[in-house]
Structure 1
Amino acid sequence: MEPDASVTSEPRGLGRSFCIVTGASKGFGRSIARQVAALLRPQSTLVLVARSGDKLQELRAEVEAGGLVVRAVAADLGAKGGVERVVREAREASSADIEHLMLFNNAASLGDVSRYAQSFTDMDEVDSYLSFNVSSALSLTAGVLKAFPQRPGLRRTVVNVSSLCALEPFPTWVLYCTGKAARDMMFRVLAKEEPDLRVLNYAPGPLDTDMQVEARSTSDPTLKKTVFDLRDKGQLLTCEQSCSKLVKVLLKDDYQSGVHLDYFEL
């Protein structure tokens, strides 16, 4: 889906960019990759990251045009080696020609929503979840920013794909809510520490994705009804709808760095 006319008519472009999108193989990440690719100048680089190499190659073939360099990196961000592989891509591409660094921290998982908080007695299980959903985002962001240090003429933008769950507790979603809240605070701290950065926590709203299907397996009866009502009443958003609004916010570039913005607030 092409970006909305209101997006492409914004006066500020992305410039010659180096852009990383994690979780790019499907859902919201795939929409980010498609819409951002359409706005990047020739000779920009778009790095697509996900666990599924086949799906990444399909997306690469779809968006690789007009002088855009697209790299597909199949990596497990829940493991140290996966994060290091993506950081190496950034180091190898770092140059004075880049006008805009963009990092979209989109990769995430819902976790087991069939259980309540008191059932998570296995620290290894919790650590594994947090490694993929929290630790990897911090380490990846830190590594990429070191590869592209502050200098005159370089804009640097970091986007965390957040959620209402970063702000509100939901029964049986203890892992997801904890991870999203931790990531929001992590990027708020980053915005305070690095005033030259543009940092955005963007909550895309209830999306019609595979994760929404997983959400219906929640064991909490009240929450289950809410989740099913979103589907049955046609209240789910398409990834393209939400992504178009995100891109418009980034191009307008007048948000307070570190802020949490929800689709329905814009």
Structure 2
Amino acid sequence: MSYTAGQKALCIITGASKGFGWTLAFQLSCLLKPRSVLMLVARTAEQLNRLKEDIINLYGGQNQLDVRCVQADLEKKEGVEKTVQAAKETSVDRQFVLFGLASLGDVSRFALTFTDPVEVNRYLALNVSGALSVTAGVLQALPRRLGLRRSVVNISSLCALKPFPSWVLYCTGKAARDMMFRVLAAEEPDVRVLSYAPGPLDTDMQLQARRSSGDLQLRRSFSSMFSEGQLLSCEESGAKLMKLLLDNDFQSGSHLDFYEL
């Protein structure tokens, strides 16, 4: 992600208001060149504004970082359009990176209980449809041109590859997103695409998994990992992702796991 001094980058983080997205925002903010734009997207304005204030207090005065908050629900067309429009209103000299995170969904129930397509579609609208629409919209807004490097990072999971009982929504969404971004990499060879599985992170999402997973064995496994200190910090996993992007030697479209690196 390094580039010539003075050249601006645009980095967009969806789901930036908490957890891994929150950490990535801080880690990126100390890597970006002056006048670069860090765009934070989430549904909760209060948390986004607090994150912006914290970043500016830590780094803003030193590197003149332009931190922008976009309150948007990517489950809805209006939220996607708002995010894409915000991207259009920036100027980028050298690099654009989009980081896409996801929600866990209802993990308290098993597959046979999801008989309402409206409920299923709502989850997929945010985590699959919204992810594709905002990625496509932003890439159109920042089309290919000489000197512009474009990258998309899909925050993936082991769940994209392995079934977790009672996690049918999450596993389905992650698998769909991985394939979606593999197709993008095949169609757009100039776009660097990475699906990064950050490992089991010590976040509110993991807390929800320990408390709410319908599968008892899975719930016990997560609880054991927590009690034995086996969960990863967001900072540790994020640092490995930053190194991946800085080294820039991965195959576009690949799925890489924290434990494989």
Deviation at 1:211, TM superposition (A): 0.4
Deviation at 1:230, TM superposition (A): 1.0
Cα distance in 2 between the residues matched to 1:75 and 1:230: 34
Q: Does 1:233 align with 2:239?
A: no
Q: What's the counterpart of residue 18 of structure 2? A: 26
Equivalent of residue 70 in structure 1, options 67, 79, 84: 67
Q: Does 1:174 align with 2:168?
A: yes
Deviation at 1:173, TM superposition (A): 0.2
Q: Could you say what secondary structure the match of 1:114 adopts?
A: coil
What CA deviation, in whole Å up to 9, does each residue of 1:198-242 have, x standing for no partner?
000000000000100111111212111111111011100110110
Q: Could you say what secondary structure the match of 1:219 adopts?
A: coil
User: Is the 1:21–1:49 Cα contact (8 Å) retained in structure 2?
Assistant: yes
User: Is the 1:51–1:74 Cα contact (8 Å) retained in structure 2?
Assistant: yes
Q: What's the counterpart of residue 146 of structure 1? A: 140
Cα distance in 2 between the residues matched to 1:209 and 1:162: 15
What is the letter of the counterpart of residue 209 of structure 2?
A: A
User: Is the 1:111–1:176 Cα contact (8 Å) retained in structure 2?
Assistant: yes
TM-score by length of 1: 0.93
Q: How many residues align?
A: 253
Q: What's the counterpart of residue 183 of structure 1? A: 177
More deviation, 54-63/196-205: 54-63
User: Is the 2:3–2:94 Cα contact (8 Å) retained in structure 1?
Assistant: no
User: Is the 1:99–1:155 Cα contact (8 Å) retained in structure 2?
Assistant: yes
Cα distance in 1 between the residues matched to 2:237 and 2:160: 18
Deviation at 1:13, TM superposition (A): 4.2
Q: Could you say what secondary structure the match of 1:143 adopts?
A: helix
Q: Could you say what secondary structure the match of 1:25 adopts?
A: coil
Note the residue ranges of structure 2 that are not aligned, 5 or more in a row: none
Structure 1 vs Structure 2 CA RMSD: 1.2
More deviation, 223-232/172-181: 223-232
User: Is the 1:13–1:39 Cα contact (8 Å) retained in structure 2?
Assistant: no
User: Is the 2:199–2:237 Cα contact (8 Å) retained in structure 1?
Assistant: yes
Q: What's the counterpart of residue 249 of structure 2? A: 254
Cα distance in 1 between the residues matched to 2:256 and 2:8: 26
Q: What's the counterpart of residue 195 of structure 2? A: 201
Equivalent of residue 46 in structure 1, options 35, 38, 52: 38
Cα distance in 1 between the residues matched to 2:108 and 2:250: 37
User: Is the 1:101–1:156 Cα contact (8 Å) retained in structure 2?
Assistant: yes
- Pairwise mapping of residues 88-103 of structure 1 onto structure 2 (< 5 A)? 88-93=85-90, 95=91, 97-103=92-98
What CA deviation, in whole Å up to 9, does each residue of 1:173-196 have, x standing for no partner?
000000000000000000000000
Q: What's the counterpart of residue 56 of structure 1? A: 48
What CA deviation, in whole Å up to 9, does each residue of 1:7-62 have, x standing for no partner?
xxx9x348520110011111100111101111111111110011111111111112
Q: Could you say what secondary structure the match of 1:138 adopts?
A: helix
User: Is the 2:156–2:197 Cα contact (8 Å) retained in structure 1?
Assistant: yes
Q: Could you say what secondary structure the match of 2:225 adopts?
A: helix
Deviating above 4 A after TM superposition, structure 1's stretches of 4 or more consecutive aligned residues are none
What CA deviation, in whole Å up to 9, does each residue of 1:66-113 have, x standing for no partner?
2111101111111111111000011111x4x5200110011x211111
Cα distance in 1 between the residues matched to 2:98 and 2:38: 10
What is the letter of the counterpart of residue 85 of structure 1?
A: K
What is the letter of the counterpart of residue 205 of structure 1?
A: G
